[in-house]
Amino acid sequence: MSLMTVDHVSYGYSRKPVLRSVRFSVNRGEVVSLLGPNGSGKTTLLKVMLGLYRPESGQVLLEGRPVCDMPPREVARRIAYVPQVHRLAFSYRVMDVVLMGRMPHKPFFFRYSGKDEEMAVRAMERLSIAHLKDRPYTEVSGGERQLALIARALTQGADIFIMDEPVNGLDYGNQIRLLKQIADLAGNGYTFIKTTHFPEHALWVSDRVVMLRDGQVIADGDAGTVTSEQNLYRLYNTRVGVMDAAGGLRVCVPRALQGREAFSGERIQDDYCYRAAS
Ligand SMILES: Nc1ncnc2c1ncn2[C@@H]1O[C@H](COP(=O)(O)OP(=O)(O)OP(=O)(O)O)[C@@H](O)[C@H]1O
């Protein structure tokens, strides 16, 4: 049985249809990337998958059970949401934000136990941010905040991570480190469903790619197969070459920019370091 199934889900805001009979499934330990242009319905789909929005028709199943009918605390113990932009009004310590992950496991009035704190510190150590634990969350960088939210998700004990553009706002180094963390955690059995505006990131760390255009799935399958020049054109209406690079990675090269004068004065050549994959 699939871990999560999106079964012919349709959803709209005040009668404007946004998701139209969306259908795909997610297996345990998979990294699934949702690709689609702005406004295609990716964030809406994530919120339906989290049980925050009830579909107008169709359903989202977690191990065969409709997410919408599960108590929110039970969903929170299984699924962690890492939102796109995260700001807190109050100046919590990074440690306090990470500890919030324990809330779904606690009664209404509670104090965090030593074991909760131990879990939070272990999650921060895993992500190399333990040194930030006493810093105000509002004063650490965007990348560090994103890592704190992932530590919170780990502390939550969830095995499914739903992430909305997780590398948004991160510098290049932090983007790569975050992708590596996702790949490592997936190797340990965690499941990731994430949106991205970078087809390359989908190629680098995803097992599966689901492409969404106008609220409809236009392609779904193995990341390497689905992230093709044809599908990227159908999705974004711009020509992108998908090519093999050294080390087994594939890269995307925008055709519209290819052949322009490089800032060094040399021309960028088609076959400079890549060979066309297809
Ligand atoms: N709360 C809302 N109320 C009304 N319409 C909304 C709401 N949230 C999103 N929409 C609309 O639903 C459509 C899909 O939005 P959504 O945020 O799901 O797209 P997206 O693919 O995540 O976009 P982006 O890549 O720009 O983040 C858009 O037309 C958007 O304007």
Q: Which atom of ligand 1 is nearest to the CA of 84?
A: 27
CB 164 within 8 A of CB 84: yes
Domains and CATH numbers, the chain: 4-250 (3.40.50.300)
Which positions ≥6 away from 129 have C-beta within 8 Å?
A: 94, 144, 147, 148, 151
Minimum CA distance residue for ligand 1 atom 11: 39
Average pLDDT, the chain: 87
Ramachandran category for residue 214: left, alpha or beta (phi over 0 → left; psi -120 to 50 → alpha) = left
- Which region among 68-77, 205-214, 232-241 has the lowest average model confidence (pLDDT)? 68-77
pLDDT of residue 28: 93
The pTM of the full predicted model, rounded to 2 decimals, is 0.87
Instruction: From 11, 42, 85, 163, give the residue whose CB has the most ligand 1 atoms within 8 Å, as the site to mutate.
Output: 42
Centre of ligand 1 from the C-alpha of residue 193, in Å: 18
Tokens 């689905």, located at residue? 226
Of residues 186, 187, 143, the one with CA closest to residue 166: 143
Each residue of 135-182: pLDDT tens digit? 999 888 888 888 898 899 889 889 999 999 988 877 888 888 889 989
Residue 274 in this model has a pLDDT that exceeds 50: no
Each residue of 70-123: pLDDT tens digit? 998 889 889 999 887 666 667 789 999 999 988 877 776 778 888 889 999 999
Q: Which amino acid is at 153?
A: A
In whole angstroms, give the CA distance from residue 161 to residue 194.
8
Residue 272 in this model has a pLDDT that exceeds 60: no
Of residues 145, 102, 135, the one with CA closest to residue 120: 102
Question: How much of the chain exceeds pLDDT 90, in percent?
Answer: 60
Each residue of 173-189: pLDDT tens digit? 888 888 998 999 899 99
Q: In whole angstroms, how far apart are CA 263 and each of 192, 227, 259, 260, 267?
A: 38, 29, 12, 9, 9
Minimum CA distance residue for ligand 1 atom 6: 13
Tokens 């333990």, located at residue? 130
- Residue 263: pLDDT band with limits 50, 70, 90: very low
Q: Which residue has the higher pLDDT, 132 or 259?
A: 132
Which positions ≥6 away from 148 have C-beta within 8 Å?
A: 94, 97, 98, 124, 129, 132, 137, 140
Q: Which residue has the higher pLDDT, 197 or 261?
A: 197
- ipTM for this model: 0.98
pLDDT of residue 259: 67
Q: Which amino acid is at 60?
A: V
